[in-house]
A and B are shown apart, each in its own frame.
Chain A
Amino acid sequence: MDREHCRPIEILLVEDNPGDVRLTQEALREGKVRNHLHVAADGVEAMAFLRREGQHAQAPQPDLILLDLNLPKKGGREVLAEIKEDPDLRRIPVVILTVSKAEEDVLKSYNLHANCYITKPVNLDQFLEVVKSIEDFWLTVVLLPPR
């Protein structure tokens, strides 16, 4: 059995829209992989979670980060830059999950070492499909760095 199947996968979703959070939860619930979804509603909270600051002192280090670009307080791009500059965090794969299709956003994200860039499909079925394929690829196909 794979290591991933022995313990639940920790996923950090950085998303300010509760609707999207719920949809992601729904999609992941239907998935095959056992997972814990943690949610940070803005960039500041996301960094606090990753650095185990304040109320997040007990937070586990996530195996995968799903990051929206448009966030209050601290934007997704800044969060991405901080993660990729931090020697303890930069190995965590970051999936940009956003509505923006702007070439500029795509390019900037990859330049900041995003691991992949996905636009949120407008259609529900497609959205569920995308979340599932993220799960399939990053949690079963890909071999993640050891803890």
Chain B
Amino acid sequence: VELILIIGISLLLQFAAAFFAFRLIRVTGFQIAWVLISSAFCVMAIRRVIVLAQLLAGEVPHSRELATELVGLVISILMLAGVLFIGPLFRTIKAAEAALRQSRDELEGLVAARTEELQDTNARLSVELDERRKAEHLMAQYAGDLARSNAELEQFAYVASHDLQEPLRMVASFTQLLGKRYRDKLDADADEFIGFAVDGSTRMQRLLNDLLAYSRVGTRSKPFAAVECASVLSDALANLKPAIEESGARVTHEPLPIVRGDEVQLIQLFQNLLGNAAKFRGHEPLQVHISAELQDGDWVFAVRDNGIGIAPEQQERIFLIFQRLHHRSEYPGTGIGLALCKRIVERHGGRIWVESEVGKGTTFYFTIKGGENAPNGPRALSAN
């Protein structure tokens, strides 16, 4: 009876195992494997059905013993347990896989979205870049055109003043020769006419020379180097020695910096400003004071005098080429000095302006790009 019971239970268990093994197909795939396992269980179960039938029929097969069947039962339990255990395990794995797949899909979606965004941005940027490139190209073209036309103008001014010198030299020389050789030999009118011709031609020569100097600021300039302004000032004063001495001027200065520039041009700049101060001095003994101050990275120079001053309505005009505020008989000159100053300052990337009160004095300011600042010690320069 026990034998029958045991075999019956094993048989049921094996059927159950076969059933669950078959169901695993749905969960895990591996269709063939599970069909084979399931059928194996079925075969084992069927064998037990046969044995059971034989037992019930009263035949006792000698091979069947209780112990063996007990082992079979245990194996059946284990098989069922195994099959039952594998199911949830696979299910868990499947779920994990699905979760993984889902999060990967999400991630991929995100990446795709971001990539699209990036592509959009890239496209926008490249359009912008194109535009900017076009603008830069245009700008370079304009700058080139401007530089070319400036260079041509400078060349023109240079050639004009240079080549005009030659014939003018002839006019001037021969009218002078005429004056020299025939003064008092013709009549009073002739002497006067010759005088006008000589005066006109020499004035024209001066204008041409000045125009030449003006155009040379652009065409004959040297590359910038470190320039000590104190030595520039003393050079300018040395060049102006007669005029300064004649005016009895007292020239003082504060510590002056080292700047980057064209030394020859800076000497010319100081010379013109100081020369102007000496020329347009008032009744008081002339005092000129030069200072330099660093403002927003630029050196602001000031050349202050106590001369006759400039009326406010004239303060713009003085920087234009060949503009004069006085009759030649009062103050000689072509009117180039300050125009030249302006050109020199502008070539150094700065600007020049004036503050003045008639009868009190004038201060010329100009800026030069800063950078190297090593002011020299305070020193007073006196012309006498």
Contacts and interface: CB of A to CB of B under 8 A. Distances in A.
Contact of B166 (A17, A123, A124, A125): A17
Interface stretch (B43-51, B114-122, B173-181): B173-181
Specify the main secondary structure of chain B where it touches its partner: helix
A95 B209 CA distance: 25
B5 interface: no
B47 to A, nearest CB: 121
A122 B177 contact: no
Contacts of B180: 124
Closest 10 CB pairs of A and B: A124-B176, A19-B170, A124-B173, A122-B205, A122-B169, A23-B173, A124-B177, A99-B166, A127-B173, A99-B165
Given A19-B169, A20-B170, 19 more contacts: A17-B166, A19-B170, A19-B173, A23-B173, A23-B177, A26-B177, A99-B165, A99-B166, A122-B165, A122-B169, A122-B172, A122-B205, A123-B202, A123-B205, A124-B173, A124-B176, A124-B180, A125-B176, A127-B173
A122 B205 CA distance: 8
Interface residues of B, number: 13
A120 interface: yes
Nearest to B202: A123
Contacts of B170: 17, 19-20
Contacts of A23: 173, 177
Interface in B162-215: 165-166, 169-170, 172-174, 176-177, 180, 202, 205, 209
A124 B209 CA distance: 16
6 contacts: A19-B169, A19-B174, A99-B169, A120-B169, A122-B169, A124-B180
Contacts of A17: 166, 170
Interface string A37-61: 0000000000000000000000000
Interface string B291-313: 00000000000000000000000
A26 B176 CA distance: 13
Contacts of A99: 165-166, 169
Interface string A105-147: 0000000000000001011110100000000000000000000
A86 B205 CA distance: 40
A125 B202 CA distance: 12
The listed residue with most A CB atoms (<10 A of its CB), out of B165, B173, B174, B176, is B173
Nearest to B176: A124
A63 B173 CA distance: 27
Interface string B57-80: 000000000000000000000000
A97 to B, nearest CB: 13
A17 B166 CA distance: 9
B217 to A, nearest CB: 16
A17 B172 CA distance: 15
A20 to B, nearest CB: 8
A36 B249 CA distance: 53
Interface string A9-31: 00000000101100100100000
The listed residue with most B CB atoms (<10 A of its CB), out of A23, A26, A122, is A122
A4 to B, nearest CB: 28
A20 B170 CA distance: 8
Contacts of B172: 122-124
Nearest to B181: A26
A124 B176 CA distance: 7
Contacts of B202: 123
Contacts of A123: 172, 176, 202, 205
Nearest to B212: A101
A21 to B, nearest CB: 11
Contacts of B174: 19
B213 to A, nearest CB: 12
Contacts of B169: 19, 99, 120, 122
A123 B165 CA distance: 11
Contacts of A20: 170
Nearest to B169: A122
Interface in B75-101: none
A73 B25 CA distance: 110
A103 to B, nearest CB: 9
Nearest to B178: A124
A19 B209 CA distance: 21
Contacts of A120: 169
Nearest to A120: B169
A20 B172 CA distance: 12
B290 to A, nearest CB: 30
Interface in B130-172: 165-166, 169-170, 172
Contacts of A125: 176
A19 B169 CA distance: 9
A17 B177 CA distance: 17
A55 to B, nearest CB: 28
A19 B171 CA distance: 9
